[in-house]
């Protein structure tokens, strides 16, 4: 459970800081497969839309 929480927290922190501080470049971070962003790759997470 702590491992999952750590990954989610890491993803959230990376997403917010990259979007805030690198706003013009944040759209270029979605070039990867399946619209995964850089922070998803770093945190090794996958977002599932239900």
The domain spans of the chain are 2-43
The pLDDT of residue 3: 79
User: What three-state secondary structure class fits 7?
Assistant: helix
Contacts of 37 (CB under 8 A, 6+ apart): 15, 18, 29, 30
The pTM of the full predicted model, rounded to 2 decimals, is 0.51
43, 7 Cβ separation under 8 angstroms: yes
Distance in angstroms (rounded) separating the CA atoms of residues 8 and 30 = 19
Convert the pLDDT of each residue in 2-48 to its tens digit: 878 888 888 888 888 877 776 666 565 666 666 677 777 778 887 77
């Amino acid at each position: 459970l702590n491992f999952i929480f750590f990954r989610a927290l890491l993803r959230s922190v990376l997403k917010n800081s990259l979007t805030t501080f690198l706003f013009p470049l944040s759209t270029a971070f979605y070039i990867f497969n399946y619209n995964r962003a850089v922070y998803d790759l770093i945190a090794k997470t996958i977002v599932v839309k239900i």
